[in-house]
Amino acid sequence: MAANGKNSRRKKKRHIKKGPVLIAVILLLCGIGWLTYLYHEQIINKAKDIPNSFSYPTDYEEYVIRYSTKYKCDPVLVFSVIKVESGFNKDAVSSVGARGLMQLMEDAYDWIKYRLDDQRDNTYDDMFDPELNIQYGTYYLSYLMEKYDGSVELTAAAYHCGMNLVDSWIENGTVDPDNFKVSDIPDENDQTSNYVRKIRRAYDNYKDILSSHGDITENS
């Protein structure tokens, strides 16, 4: 009888120890689940307050801000170009071989590397690296914006079809740089016309989305 009493007390003790632990584990899991739910609800609700926030993402913001500041470029334009060019796919390759987030061609890469006097051992293959691609693409945009007196449309046109062609339009009077109209772009360059319209649309949307994001738009 004494042995049975001890066994009974031992079993009871074990039961008492397991009960609070089990309850604590359940409460902990419930708490984690609730916090996770609240977190996702907060993210979703915050996104709902920003028009087109899912359609117009701001991935790689750290690099965009860093190099927009360094090269005095409009970060809203950089986001717009990434959106239109690659849809934020760092591994994107176009039908003509342009690479990375900002879809730089090899001749543009070589020109930018020379202009920057970049002595690093990077090659065109490194255009799939987000930071390097954004650095080079942002520098190129800053150069074009300065060349075309801050015109988003002329900058976009030159980014798409090259400075030489845009300069020829200006020189022969096809387009007026002081009163540029997309409709003035020659019909044979309709792909560039469509590209400029896409950049303008993305630019306007990003401008609205980021208008309350001071650390981004203060550079624009």
Name the residue among 93, 92, 90, 127 with its Cα closest to residue 108. Answer: 127
CA distance 83 to 77: 10
Residue at 210: amino acid letter: L
Q: How far is CA 208 from CA 145, 204, 213, 217, 219, in A?
A: 21, 6, 10, 10, 15
Q: In this structure, how many other beta carbons lie within 10 angstroms of the beta carbon of residue 176?
A: 11
User: Is 188 marked active-site?
Assistant: no
Map residue 99 onto helix, strand or coil. strand
**Residue 108 to residue 162: CA distance in whole angstroms:** 9
> Which residue among 61, 62, 85, 146 is the active-site one?
85
Which residues belong to the active site? Answer: 85
